[in-house]
Structure 1
Amino acid sequence: MGKISGRIITHEKEFLGTIEFDSSSGLITNVSESIESDSRKFSEDCIIFPGFGDIHIHAREDVSGKHCYKEDFISAGKAAVGGAVLHVADMPNNPVPPIDDSSYDSKNALTKKSAIHITLYAGIGPNTKPLSKKVPYKVFMGPSIGELFFEDNAGLENVIRHYKGQDVSFHCEDPEILTANKEKPTHEERRPKEAETLATDFALSLIEKYELKGKLCHYSTKDGLQKIIAAKKRGINVSCEVTPTHLMFDTDMLTETNHKWFQMNPPLRGREDREAMVKGILDGHIDFLATDHAPHSIEEKLKGTSGISQLDTYGLFVTYMILKLGIPLQTIAKICAKNPGDFVKPYLPEKYGKGFGEINKGYAANFSILNLKKPFVFQKSMIKSKSGWSPFEGFEFPGSIEAVYFLGEELNAERI
């Protein structure tokens, strides 16, 4: 048996308490609102959160092994633990994408080597059909890395009609807008805000028409967020993500020397859009903090490849959200733990009990413990991702990661 105690935050409440867990099963056996003398005590400077989950990463490994130089399931697990993340969901745009039972099972077998749990999305592309078992799906509405995308909306709807009632996440960028702007001088102009907002309209119409459980990925525009809010009010089953980069950075900080490092899809937006994303979290309209971790090599970034490596700094960024953006602790527990746990719950093996994201009896003993009084400078040498770089190199975060537990075992990225 194991016990930890201290200041505990869930999506429902904050309390001083003790968590007991069975070290053999890795599940929580009891939670009490008192500090027990025989527990490992965390100081009042620390917050014990349910284990964080990042439901949007690109771990790059598949049966071909072609992109393992960027990342694999072992290195992604190390980067996640270093970032206080205890489960991730991996996207399907691989050289051999998981688009049917066989390709999905083959890729899923590779995830078992990771130190944490990895949920896989299946890909939706031209001519695909749903798998025989329940899995989450991802659709790229416009060109991205890989071949799983659509040239027009008609082609997308012709396929998505087969996925009625399924759990589908959308990368919202209108392919026709992207084509019309492909000769513009900057990345931000080639992928304008209109590409996201128009694609949002279409994605929401598909979610409603085909009764999907919809999620809009890495959201970035104020106008589009208003469409999502209105859709939720109409009863459409839709949620949305935001990335750390769209919460912290905007086009005002782009320079000739850093623009390649901050190139991603969707691109950085203006200050008004960035502030709207922060407000969206504060107002309860954004459901997930998800990194869209894209571990391209340094050489690829210098050539202009889109994507940002940021799984290593997830937990540190949460301290920035709390102490600099003023995000309430219970909101953090909701968008970083509870909601990601609920998202993957239908796809988890029985060994995880009631699942992830809550501190209650029967749930996995996964904990992300942050110190809010101990600033931390993130160094390049701390990166566990194979990408070998981070937009936060040399940045001082206002807090730090105190400890990370997965199934009751304390993990250290240096030793897994």
Structure 2
Amino acid sequence: MRVLIKHVAINKRCLDILIVDGKIAKIARGIEVPADEEINAHGATAIPGLIDVHVHFREPGLTYKETIETGSHAAAHGGFTTVMTMPNVKPVVDTAEKVRHQVLLNQESSLVKIGQFGALSADLVGVGAADLQKMADAGAMAFSNDGHGVQDAQTMLEAMKAARQADRVISAHLEDDSLIQGGVMNAGPQAKRLDLPGMTGLSESTQLARDLVMAQATGVKYHIAHISTKESVAQVRLAKQMGLAVTAEVSPHHLFLDDSMIETDDPMFKMNPPLRSRADRLALIAGLLDGTIDMIATDHAPHSAEEKSGSMNDCSFGIVGLETALPLVYTRFVKSGLVDLDTVLDWMVRRPKQVFNLVSAGELRVGDAADIALVDFIHPYKINPAEFESKGKNTPFTGQEVYGKVLKTLVDGHLVYQAKKE
């Protein structure tokens, strides 16, 4: 099977891409060969398919929120060709048998490539590590109790030792339950003004301090999910200086929103970790720019309209992100002149691939898998949840003008998304 993509922009040059049997065979100007399919990019920019190491596709058990199929459509719409799905479905992916079942389900239903997380402990909240080696052998590519902090230190220590033995990354959701106290947004002046219970950042940073000591003792590859506080950034910076195998991700909403922007009791602004202070947000940006934070990941968390209505006191935590991440990051960081597109691709392709050993993901190089997104970075458009492929429409970014509309997405050379003609 030969696919020829004509007239794409790569590093500001107009080039063609020849794909043979799912791999990039040639990138050059004026390729003229017979092809089974020819795509005219009309000058759109070609980028490697993005990688998101933190998504929730809700299947099995919670398919009214999202399915593997709808989640993968959302990923393709956002230019993502590889994602990693968390284990907090029903039943929780916490045994080798459940890993095998989930991997098969992913393969049957997804348009994009999926790496599957296994749970660190039974049902995410159990005491004592699950059998991580057997889950790794069954296909688990990393481990996390996302949605729950590991409250028992011995459980985390056992999991770290097992993950080190299995050569897998632990992605930690940091949350000390004893410090949450029913919080629904960041503790601070805005929470008091809105008369909403606050969630202190100490819940994250104190558990991180505990884990970093154990990570140093065990040598595990330790990854911080959705980092949100300036104290956590400082700890990661120090840990890296000490030579620990520590990495971190930050979500777009924590980069571009903070609690000062929550003007009313609006459920679209409720996520976990919550939007922190402006000082925290600026520390996250600084940490991303100086390499303390390695990558951007969405924590795509779809919910039903009913679950994201009413007061923040009662609605679900979570925000969708697969279909807004690239345009938000490009508009706020590249269009503003803060960084170039190649730096964004480090955060959203190369570092995720390296840290999580995602060998099947392509990087837009000859010989790589033809995982490619064609993007219009020229014309602005407004974020409209009605146009999302995800079942979840829960985003506070509705109506914002952005650049970076994905026109086409290919996985292993197969067209899996094409924007509707206007």
State whether TM-score is above 0.5: yes
Q: Is 1:89 matched up with 2:84? A: yes
SS in 2 for 1:235: coil
SS in 2 for 1:411: strand
Among residues 207, 210, 230, which one is paired with 1:202 in the alignment? 210
- Cα gap change, 1:277/1:315 in structure 2, threshold over 3 Å: closer, same or farther? same
- Distance (Å, rounded) in 1 between the aligned partners of 2:153 and 2:199: 17
What is the letter of the counterpart of residue 339 of structure 2? I
Among residues 264, 270, 276, which one is paired with 1:256 in the alignment? 264
Instruction: Specify the alignment match of 1:350 in structure 2.
Output: none
- Distance (Å, rounded) in 1 between the aligned partners of 2:153 and 2:307: 30
Contact 2:371/2:410 (<8 A) preserved? yes
The offset of 1:52, in angstroms, is 0.4
Which region of structure 1 is more displaced relative to structure 2, 131-140 or 52-61?
A: 131-140
Instruction: Specify the alignment match of 1:222 in structure 2.
Output: 230
Among residues 66, 74, 91, which one is paired with 1:71 in the alignment? 66
- Distance (Å, rounded) in 2 between the aligned partners of 1:50 and 1:398: 17
Instruction: Specify the alignment match of 2:350 in structure 1.
Output: 338
Aligned residues: 387
- Distance (Å, rounded) in 2 between the aligned partners of 1:100 and 1:140: 13
- Cα gap change, 1:285/1:296 in structure 2, threshold over 3 Å: closer, same or farther? same
The offset of 1:358, in angstroms, is 1.2
Instruction: Specify the alignment match of 1:100 in structure 2.
Output: 95
- Distance (Å, rounded) in 1 between the aligned partners of 2:239 and 2:57: 32
Q: Deviations over 1:294-316 (max 9, x none)?
A: 11112112232111112222332
Among residues 172, 175, 194, which one is paired with 2:174 in the alignment? 172
Instruction: Specify the alignment match of 2:4 in structure 1.
Output: 3
The offset of 1:54, in angstroms, is 0.9
What is the letter of the counterpart of residue 228 of structure 2? S
What is the letter of the counterpart of residue 308 of structure 1? I
Instruction: Specify the alignment match of 1:402 in structure 2.
Output: 407
Which region of structure 1 is more displaced relative to structure 2, 386-395 or 367-376?
A: 386-395
Contact 2:252/2:298 (<8 A) preserved? yes
Which region of structure 1 is more displaced relative to structure 2, 327-336 or 190-199?
A: 190-199
SS in 1 for 2:308: helix
Which region of structure 1 is more displaced relative to structure 2, 130-139 or 111-120?
A: 130-139
Q: Deviations over 1:138-197 (max 9, x none)?
A: 3348xx3xxx6533334432444333343111112223323xxx056x532243111221
Output the TM-score relative to the length of structure 2: 0.84
Please report the RMSD computed on the Cα atoms of aligned residues, expressed in angstroms.
2.4
Among residues 46, 49, 53, which one is paired with 1:48 in the alignment? 46
The offset of 1:343, in angstroms, is 4.1
SS in 1 for 2:373: strand
Q: Is 1:232 matched up with 2:202? A: no
How is 1:24-43 mapped onto 2 (pairs within 5 angstroms)?
A: 25-32=21-28, 34-36=29-31, 42=41
The offset of 1:344, in angstroms, is 4.6
Output the TM-score relative to the length of structure 1: 0.85
Instruction: Specify the alignment match of 1:118 in structure 2.
Output: 114
What is the letter of the counterpart of residue 321 of structure 2? Q
Contact 1:21/1:408 (<8 A) preserved? yes
Q: Percent identity?
A: 25
Instruction: Specify the alignment match of 1:161 in structure 2.
Output: 161
Instruction: Specify the alignment match of 2:274 in structure 1.
Output: 267
What is the letter of the counterpart of residue 298 of structure 2? T
What is the letter of the counterpart of residue 340 of structure 1? P
Contact 2:227/2:250 (<8 A) preserved? yes
Instruction: Specify the alignment match of 1:351 in structure 2.
Output: none
How is 1:242-253 mapped onto 2 (pairs within 5 angstroms)?
A: 242-253=250-261
Unaligned runs of at least 5 residues, structure 1? 347-353
Instruction: Specify the alignment match of 1:312 in structure 2.
Output: 323
Contact 2:95/2:131 (<8 A) preserved? yes
What is the letter of the counterpart of residue 253 of structure 2? T
- Distance (Å, rounded) in 2 between the aligned partners of 1:265 and 1:109: 29
- Distance (Å, rounded) in 1 between the aligned partners of 2:418 and 2:100: 27
Q: Deviations over 1:275-300 (max 9, x none)?
A: 22222222233222110011111211
- Cα gap change, 1:171/1:2 in structure 2, threshold over 3 Å: closer, same or farther? same
- Distance (Å, rounded) in 2 between the aligned partners of 1:379 and 1:200: 36
Contact 2:169/2:356 (<8 A) preserved? no
Unaligned runs of at least 5 residues, structure 2? 122-126, 188-197
Which region of structure 1 is more displaced relative to structure 2, 166-175 or 261-270?
A: 166-175
